[in-house]
Structure formats: C-alpha cells, structure tokens
Amino acid sequence: MVEGVPSAHRHQPEVEPVPFIDLVAQHATIETEIQEAVQRVFASQAFVLGDEVAEFECDLAEYCDSRDAIGVASGTDALILSLRAADVGPGDEVITSPFTFFATGGAIHQVGAKPVFVDIEPHSFNLDTEQVETAMTERTRAVMPVHLFGQCAEMEPLWRIAVRNGLSIIEDACQAIGGEYRGRRAGVLGTMGCFSFFPTKNLGGAGDGGLITTDDAELSARLRRLRMHGDVGGYRHVEVGTNSRLDALQAAVLGVKFRHLEQWTEARQQNARRYGELLRHYELLDAVEPPFVLPDRRHVYNQYCLRVKAGRRDEVLASLREDKIGAAIYYPTPLHLQECFAFLGYQQGDFPESEAAADEVLALPIFPELTAEQQETVVRGIATALGRLTSDNDHSHIPAPKFLTAEKKKRAA
Ligand SMILES: Cc1ncc(COP(=O)(O)O)c(C=O)c1O
C-alpha cells in the first residue's frame, strides 16, 4: 500500500505488462542474420580476435570517425586499459562524476589511482566541467567524463583544461555509442573513448564486450599489446598486460547488430519524443521532468531518465511495478557514498546535485521495439500513480458521440 494516495488512483485497470527492455523482440527481427554469423565463426573455429574482430573494429572506427578501434572483453576493461595506456597508476588522481555506473570509479581504483569526484550539472546529469579545475591537484593525471544515459558531457571546456594541464581525457562512452557533441561522435572527444557492448546497451552483444577508440597511433599500439599480456609478438612481453580480447563470436554478433544501430537509435529518439508528447498530454510536466537535451548534442537514449519531483519517485516506481510496467533507478547511490569508497572520505552532502539526482531519477522503457500503445500505458501508469488520471485526459474512455448521449437522456426521461 502506498501512503497518502487515494486507492482509486493507485492502479490502472488491467493493462498489458510493459517490459523495461525486450531483447527477445529485437532478436526476432535479426535471428537469421545472427545464426549465419555464428555459424560462420564455428565453421572457421577462429574464436579469438581474427578477421571477425578486425572487421568489427574497422566498422566502429569508421562509425566514430576515429583512426583506430581496439576490441576488448568489456566496457570495464576498456576503462582500465585506457587508464593504463595513459600511464595512470598508484599515487595518481582521476577526476570523474559520482553519478554513474560503478565501473567508472571502480576502474580508476583498479589501476591503483584515486577517483576524485566533482558534482554534476542537474539538467544533463553529466560532470560539471566548471568544477574540474578546483578539484585538481599536482597528482591529477586524467579526467574521465561519463556521457551518461547517451548524452555527451560538455567537452570543450574540458579540452582547454586538459591541454593547459597536460591531462588525458578518457571518455566513458559506454552508454553513448553514436552520441554526438557539436557534430563529433562520442569516442573522438578525448584521448581515448571507451564503449561497452553489455547486452542492454544500444549495441549489445551476446555477453560481455567492449572497445576503445583513439586517434593516437602510439596509444593504439599500446592498447593492442595490453589486451594480450603486453605481447609484442613472438612471446616477447615488453610490459605486463592482461587477457582482455573481444571474442570472435561477439564480434560476429555485434557486426550484424551494428548494421541496425542507426535505425534502432532513431527509434529510441522517436520514443523519447513520444514520451515528451504524452507527458504533456497527461499534464504531468509539473510533476516530472523529462530528459533535457542540450542543443549541440545528439542524445542516443541508452536510458530515458525522468526526474520525479516532490519526493514521489519511489511511490511512482512501486505503483508502476504493481501495474507490471518496467522502470528502474539509475543510479540509487552515487559513487562517493558507496561503502567500498568510504576510505576516500566523502560524506552525504558533498555532491548535492548527484544526491538529488539519485533520489529523483526514474528510467522508463525506451527500447527501439517499444510501441506507442506501450508508451501510453507507461505514462498512464505514472499519471495513475500521481493521482492525475482525470476524465479529461483519460483517453481509454473514449467519450460517446453527443447524439448518442442525447438519445440516452431522452430514453431515461
Ligand atoms: C557508464 C558505464 N561505464 C562503464 C560500464 C561498464 O561496462 P561493462 O559492463 O561492459 O563492463 C557501463 C556498462 O555497464 C556503463 O554504463
């Protein structure tokens, strides 16, 4: 039971469940292509790197407009290996956002460096670049902006800061494949760009996978050897790396899905526009704030995250769940308040915008195959949870034509 909400408003009458994401629906549209690609790999029995990976790397480099792309085992590894290639290690500091998936801060810690957080801009949920310089010390080696939910961070001021101070910029573009900042793609907005092919990403594999983009030939050579235990060929190891390669099977599956990426991205954008219209139609814009798209960005909506105002987010989420409407919180706890980072010494209140976002965000289904009807069910679910479904905006009860109403009245008289 949700406190303070009249029971008549708590739930929609029986509605079809809406999944948060439906990978089965997507797979159905490409099943034959995927099977052919998988069979090709099995026929070759070449499972590690090889032509499949090389071809996919070329496709991605071209798509991001980068000189090279290096396939690795996950987005997390992409971040770790980029940090290592930028010579970030013990004693160094890396500035990043606390409002992100854990891997961003986890990767910095994994290379022995210290994550230093700065707060986010409330509208874009991305790193507030104006705060970066005040967080810098003589140990700062890199900045790791996160293009959260699929919208790029404000990069130009970061470029200036990086050039002035000799810092590397490692983009956490794990959620932003195809996202753009002033006409340039995510992945070429810093020194290196890191992508994830986790199955729920806009370009998702059949398991884990990741990739790094860079324009720097030296870095790309180093990344290629770091993913192979530092091997430069002939079992000669010039530095200690790790085993982090993109599987040929993943590359084959991703190669198929890549051909559909733009169309899927456009479907996500169309869904976002439709949510905007529905939220206006149901007069919810005083209670929830849709994602804010900055004019010089291309948002690719890996997530569509609303802000639910007036402390009602959890109530809305609970009501949607009872109505079997998929929704999720990305992310409920900012990194500076995570238990494992207590040793960093941050406290509640240190990053008020990140903390407010963690209390207010609510991700709605946005997957490309989502239908207009399903979206209406979601928005009606929110209106219901907030007690806002009125006879004026409730289109499920299509009003009877006037002449019928008059006829009924006559009969009743
Ligand atoms: C912002 C962000 N950074 C890093 C990662 C890590 O990627 P992966 O799960 O492929 O290791 C993810 C994806 O889960 C992410 O969303």
For residue range 247-258, list pLDDT tens digits in order.
Answer: 999 999 999 999
Kindly state whether residue 395 falls inside one of the protein's structural domains: no
Q: For 311-320, how does the pLDDT look when each residue is reduced to its tens digit (9 = 90+)?
A: 999 999 999 9
Q: Are residues 357 and 212 in the same domain?
A: no
Q: Is 335 in the pocket of ligand 1 (CB under 6 A)?
A: no
Q: Is 151 in the pocket of ligand 1 (CB under 6 A)?
A: no
pLDDT surpasses 50 at 2: no
Q: Are residues 32 and 166 in the same domain?
A: yes
Tell me, what's the pLDDT at 15?
Answer: 80
Tell me, what's the pLDDT at 10?
Answer: 62
- For 44-51, what is the mean pLDDT? 94
Kindly state whether residue 116 falls inside one of the protein's structural domains: yes
Tell me, what's the pLDDT at 16?
Answer: 87
Q: Are residues 328 and 229 in the same domain?
A: no
Q: Are residues 232 and 213 in the same domain?
A: yes
Kindly state whether residue 222 falls inside one of the protein's structural domains: yes
- For 381-393, what is the mean pLDDT? 87
CATH classification of the domain holding 320: 3.90.1150.10
Kindly state whether residue 310 falls inside one of the protein's structural domains: yes
Tell me, what's the pLDDT at 401?
Answer: 45
Sheet holding 304-308, edge to edge: 288-289, 304-308, 361-364
pLDDT surpasses 90 at 378: yes
pLDDT surpasses 50 at 6: no
pLDDT surpasses 70 at 392: no
Residue 151 CA to ligand 1 centre (angstroms): 15
Q: Are residues 82 and 182 in the same domain?
A: yes
Q: Are residues 205 and 56 in the same domain?
A: yes
Kindly state whether residue 326 falls inside one of the protein's structural domains: yes
Q: Is 100 in the pocket of ligand 1 (CB under 6 A)?
A: yes
Q: Is 208 in the pocket of ligand 1 (CB under 6 A)?
A: yes
- For 182-205, what is the mean pLDDT? 98
Q: Is 331 in the pocket of ligand 1 (CB under 6 A)?
A: no
Q: Are residues 199 and 337 in the same domain?
A: no
Query: In 3-state terms, what secondary structure has residue 113?
Result: coil
Residue at which a domain ends, from 207, 223, 258:
258
Q: Which of 133-147, 259-273, 343-357, 386-400 has the lowest mean pLDDT?
A: 386-400
Q: Is 265 in the pocket of ligand 1 (CB under 6 A)?
A: no
Kindly state whether residue 109 falls inside one of the protein's structural domains: yes
Q: Which atom of ligand 1 is nearest to the CA of 175?
A: 16
Give the whole-angstrom CA distance, residue 66 versus residue 311: 43
Tell me, what's the pLDDT at 396?
Answer: 57
CATH classification of the domain holding 231: 3.40.640.10
What is the domain count for the chain? Answer: 2
pLDDT surpasses 50 at 353: yes
Q: Is 171 in the pocket of ligand 1 (CB under 6 A)?
A: no
Q: Which of 161-175, 214-228, 394-408 has the lowest mean pLDDT?
A: 394-408
- For 343-349, what is the mean pLDDT? 98
Angle at Cα 188 formed by Cα 33 and Cα 123, nearest 5°?
Answer: 95
Nearest CA to ligand 1 atom 10: 75
Q: Which of 65-74, 179-188, 396-405 has the lowest mean pLDDT?
A: 396-405
Tell me, what's the pLDDT at 70?
Answer: 98
Q: Are residues 201 and 328 in the same domain?
A: no
- For 222-243, what is the mean pLDDT? 96
Tell me, what's the pLDDT at 250?
Answer: 98
Question: Residue 37: is it exposed, middle or buried by C-beta count within 10 angstroms (0-12/13-18/19+)?
Answer: buried
Instruction: Judge contact between 307 and 330, C-beta under 8 A.
Output: no
Give the whole-angstrom CA distance, residue 366 versus residue 248: 29
Kindly state whether residue 14 falls inside one of the protein's structural domains: no
Tell me, what's the pLDDT at 203?
Answer: 98
- For 345-351, what is the mean pLDDT? 98
Q: Are residues 237 and 282 in the same domain?
A: no
Tell me, what's the pLDDT at 53?
Answer: 98
Considering the chain, what percentage of its residues have pLDDT values greater than 70?
Answer: 91
Q: For 55-102, how does the pLDDT look when each residue is reduced to its tens digit (9 = 90+)?
A: 999 999 999 999 999 999 999 999 999 999 999 999 999 999 999 999
- Report residue 202: phi and psi, to 5°: -60, -35
Query: In 3-state terms, what secondary structure has residue 374?
Result: helix
Q: Are residues 207 and 293 in the same domain?
A: no
Tell me, what's the pLDDT at 389?
Answer: 85
Tell me, what's the pLDDT at 13?
Answer: 67
Closest CA to 205 of 22, 18, 27, 25: 27
pLDDT surpasses 90 at 11: no
Residue at which a domain ends, from 232, 258, 284:
258
How far CA 45 is from CA of 40, 87, 107, 186, 248, in Å, comes to 9, 36, 33, 34, 9
Kindly state whether residue 405 falls inside one of the protein's structural domains: no
- Mean of per-residue pLDDT scores for the chain: 93
Q: Are residues 181 and 276 in the same domain?
A: no
Structure-block tokens of residue 170: 């490692």
Closest CA to 334 of 303, 359, 316: 359
Residue 251 CA to ligand 1 centre (angstroms): 18
pLDDT surpasses 80 at 286: yes
Query: Sorting pLDDT into bands at 50, 70 and 90, what band is 1?
Result: very low
Residue at which a domain ends, from 231, 258, 285:
258
Q: Is 76 in the pocket of ligand 1 (CB under 6 A)?
A: yes
Indicate the top mutation candidate among 102, 108, 151, 196 to test ligand 1's pocket, ranked by most ligand atoms within 8 A of CB: 196
Q: Are residues 106 and 165 in the same domain?
A: yes
Query: Sorting pLDDT into bands at 50, 70 and 90, what band is 214?
Result: very high
Where do we find the tokens 């200036």? Answer: 160
- Identify the domain containing residue 162 by its residue range: 25-258
